[in-house]
Structure 1
Amino acid sequence: MAHRLLLIVLAASILHTASSATVYDVLQQNNLPRGLIPQGVTSYVLHPDGHLEVTLPGECNFAITVGGSPYKFRFDSKFVGLIKSGSISEIKGVRV
């Protein structure tokens, strides 16, 4: 009985640790910069096949300048992509 209880506690601890990872941790684990996704993510789902669904509290618009050229970004409140080590593809809900 004590072994079963220990196993349950260990499994719950592992699940809690896994679920406490943020989407920014997922980016880093896939060799991507944390700043690739705007701050304020309210939730995300990472599917086993690498598809990532991200929810923001609302639409996010911002601009950056790279090499003297301005770029405007728009993230819908929900956007998706396929994350692999070093890349995100099949992105929907983000415009540049």
Structure 2
Amino acid sequence: MELKVVASAGTLESSDIQIIIEPSENGIAIELESTVKAQFGDQIENVITETLKSLNVESVKVFVNDKGAIDPVIKSRVQTAVYRSAECNDYKWM
């Protein structure tokens, strides 16, 4: 999927995650801030990466501010940000 604009999804509320993505030319780059980074940082990055790959996004810069979100919330926020960035209204939720 081709990303066109900077887009975001999510909030900074407890148990949520804010995802901001922007188009890039240099593969997938993730900048993660999280209240649980020491315990779950690798898992959060894996969920984000796998969700991006499932949407055929190969080049993107992702800014993440996590407040303890669970995997399904992370996945849905990434999907929403990608669809917004691609300016796509044909949602194929997984």
* TM-score, normalised relative to structure 1: 0.26
Higher RCO (C-alpha under 8 Å, 6+ residues apart): 2
Q: Choose 1 or 2 for highest CA Rg.
A: 1
* TM-score, normalised relative to structure 2: 0.27
The structure with the largest strand share of the pair is 1
